[in-house]
Amino acid sequence: MRHIRLGPAILLRLETGDEIFSSVTELARAEGIGAASLSGIGAAYGVVLGYYDRRTKEYTRTTVEEEVEIVSLVGNIALKDGQPFPHMHVTISGRDFRTMAGHLFEGRTGGTVEVVITPLAGFVHRRKDDATGLFLLDV
């Protein structure tokens, strides 16, 4: 994992094999980010996607083992239990150019993953919401 600060933004480059969720979390903690937006592109394998079922309050997960393009990685960073925590969604496509998408639980970097993190002023916490079962932005 490599990164450079460009003005207020941080450009992150993940290297082959780097796990995406934990890498973004690690950088956010190292930089003390309390709120941010992020976007990225690249390629990944072993991608674990989630679909949240609001009735059961549980995620259904599926794993895409083969290497895929990350067409779009979008999300934000807020504080959960006092620590920076990324919430990311991805759209991925494979050799057949069809896309799959969902909540990103994990994935390993293929050739590269490029993420631009834009920290926001201040911080935002996530708090458990009993109605949805989710940790929602406390705004």
**DSSP per-residue letters across 87-103:** EEEEEEE-TT--EEEEE
* Contacting range for Zn ion; rule: CB under 5 A; set: 3-11, 55-63, 76-84, 95-103: 95-103
Distance CA(39)–CA(6), nearest Å, equals 15
Q: Among 50, 108, 112, which Cα is nearest to 75's?
A: 50
**DSSP per-residue letters across 4-32:** EEETTEEEEEE-TT-BHHHHHHHHHHHTT
Tokens of 22: 């934990």
* Contacting range for Zn ion; rule: CB under 5 A; set: 30-38, 57-65, 76-84, 98-106: 98-106
The nearest distance, CB 50 to Zn ion, in angstroms, is 7
* Contacting range for Zn ion; rule: CB under 5 A; set: 38-46, 59-67, 76-84, 100-108: 100-108
1: number of Cβ within 10 Å: 17
**For the chain, what percentages of helix, strand and coil (3-state, to nearest 5) are there?**
10, 65, 30
Residue showing the smallest CB distance to Zn ion in the complex = 103
The nearest distance, CB 103 to Zn ion, in angstroms, is 3
103 binds Zn ion (CB under 5 A): yes
Within 50-89, the residues that bind Zn ion by CB under 5 A are: none
103 vs 125, which CB is nearer to Zn ion?
Answer: 103
3 vs 126, which CB is nearer to Zn ion?
Answer: 126
13 vs 103, which CB is nearer to Zn ion?
Answer: 103
Contact residues for Zn ion, defined by CB under 5 A: 103
